[in-house]
Structure 1
Amino acid sequence: MKLFNFIKQQSKTDFSPEQTIRLLFDYIPEFYKKHRQFTDCVEFLEHREWELSLDSLIELADETGHYFAEDFWLGLADVADKMNLNDKANYCRNQIDRNIEDIKSKT
């Protein structure tokens, strides 16, 4: 939580999509860091493919069924907002509601 609180304290324009995604890596459990979607995300970041990197993290959550933290989803939504990807930003925000419905917690 401290990481995202730091992000919240900064102006949203202070972080690029790449920087935000890299900060969000801390929210990903270690055992998912060998997952294909995570490794794809890292590779896309190296090639400056921000949208594909964002897609990979969304797919990681979808494929694994893991309930990622609210801050993770807010960070992804922020990245999507910066790239004017409104549907993806809304999808990320809706995952917070899904967490509340399914596990009765924002995580």
Structure 2
Amino acid sequence: MKLFNFIKKRSKTPAQILRHLAVHIPTSYTAHHQFKNYLEFLEHREWELALDSLIELADETPGYAFSDTFWLGLAEAADKMNLDKTREYCKSKSTGTTL
């Protein structure tokens, strides 16, 4: 039934995007205080703070280059939350494509 195909193509919420981004974080960073903050903010549905924690995690760990997928995911979550400056910052950290 093509009438209901729009349900399958529904866009993700910021919460879904933020939860998915955890797979792009190396396990060696799961003890980092910003990662712990991210998990706590997710649990309390503080999406903007969870987003900020992931950005700070990436910024505080210069020895690892987070992927474009990670940065573009952060940009997408920021876009969904109408955080224009944060979206642009995240997009600038990716090396390639835009949203």
TM-score (norm 1): 0.77
Distance of 2:73 and 2:94 partners within structure 1: 12
Distance of 1:18 and 1:33 partners within structure 2: 19
**Superposition RMSD in Å:** 1.5
Structure 1 runs not aligned, ≥5 long? 1-9, 101-107
3-state secondary structure, aligned to 2:94: helix
Find the partner of 1:56 among 53, 56, 59: 53
Q: Is the counterpart of residue 25 in structure 1 residue 1 in structure 2?
A: no
Identity percentage of aligned residues: 52
Bigger Cα Rg: 2
**Residue number in structure 1 paired with 2:44:** 47
Higher helix share: 1
> Structure 2: which amino acid aligns with 1:14?
S
Structure 2 runs not aligned, ≥5 long? 1-7
Per-residue CA deviations over 1:54-97 (Å, capped at 9, x if unaligned) read: 00000000001121000001100000000000100000011013
**Residue number in structure 2 paired with 1:81:** 79
Alpha-carbon deviation of 1:18?
A: 1.1
TM-score (norm 2): 0.83
Distance of 1:45 and 1:38 partners within structure 2: 11
